[in-house]
Structure 1
C-alpha cells in the first residue's frame, strides 16, 4: 500500500482541491490498482478542515501542537501502522499531478525530492516571480527540498528516524537524516506539484517565508520610487 500524508492547520479553503488532486493521482493506471491511503494530520484546526477531509474519504489524525514536523510524523505513523510501504508527502495548499505517485515510484530510489511550481503570483509585488525563477532549478538534479513534494520508502523513513518535531525545516532535517543513513535519493523534476504563493503561509520558515524575503527588495524599491 502507498500512503499520502497531508498536514493541515485551518486549511478548509484549500484542502478540498488538494484532496481532489490526490484522488486522481491514486487512480493512475501505472499504479496497477495498488491501494492508496490518504492521511490528513489535523493540527490545531478550528475550521472545517476535518469535515473536508472526511468528505474526501481521508483518514484523519489529530494533534495539538502547531508544529508541522510533529503533524507530518503523526500522519506518517498512522500510515505505517496501516501497512504503507511508501510514504508520499504534500501540503494542503498544493495540488499534485495525476501521475505524481507513479513518477515518485518510477525513480526506484529510497526517497524522492521533487520540485514545485507556483499557482498564482498575484499576492506578491512585481519582481518576486523573476527573482524566484532566477534562483530556482526545475530540472533533474535540482537539490531543492520541499515538504510539498517528497516521497520516501517506509524502510528508509524508519531507518532515518522519521520527521523531527520541528516547527520549520522538518523536511530538510529528514532528507539530511536520510543522507546520513545512506539512502538513495532521486532529485527529480518528474513528480509535479503546484503550490500556493499565499502570503498567509503556515510554516514559519517555509516556502511562503522564502517568497516574502524575495519580496523585500521589490518593496524597498517601490517605497523609494514613491
Structure 2
C-alpha cells in the first residue's frame, strides 16, 4: 500500500510540476495529510464570485465515481467486466482538470471542484456568493454506462470524488467556453443559471422539483 501510494503521488507531482518539500515523520495508523500552496498573478475564480444571470457549467460526467465505489464494495456479478473496469477506473483514478482550469480562467467567475458531490459544491457557490442557483435536471451530464444501469439524478448530484470543475460564467462567454471544450475534447455542459435569492433548486420540463433525496459528504460528521 505505501509503495503504491508513493508511486501514484510521484506521478501527480511530476504531471503538475509540484515539489514535495516536507512531511510528517511520525509513525502510526495510516494518516495522509498535505497542504498545497501557490500564488497567482492573474484572476482567481473564487466560489464567492458568482453573479446574477450567469450560466452554470460542469465539466466531464458525474455519478461514475459513486458507481465505481459500489462495484468495489459489493462486487456485482451481473455487471460486465469491462463496465466494472470503467467505473472502478473512474473512482480510483480521477483526473484533476488543472490544464482545463488554466484555459478557462479568463472566461469564468466562480469555480469549485466536485469532490463532495455536485449538489454540495453548488450549495457552496450559492452560499458564498449570496445567490440562488437553479439547475435543469435534464442537462446533467452522465456517461452512457451510467445511463444504461438506470441510476438517476439523485446519485449523480450526490456522488462526489469526480474532481470535475463546477463554475459560473457570463452568458457572453458561452461560445468561448464551447471552443475550449472542443479543443480539449472535454465535455463542458451548461446545466443552469444564477439568480437573485439563496440556495439551490432544480427543475425538469420547466417545473420545479422538490422531492429529490440528496446526500452529500459532510466533513467531520462523525465527530
TM-score (norm 1): 0.24
TM-score (norm 2): 0.24
Q: Which has the larger radius of gyration?
A: 2
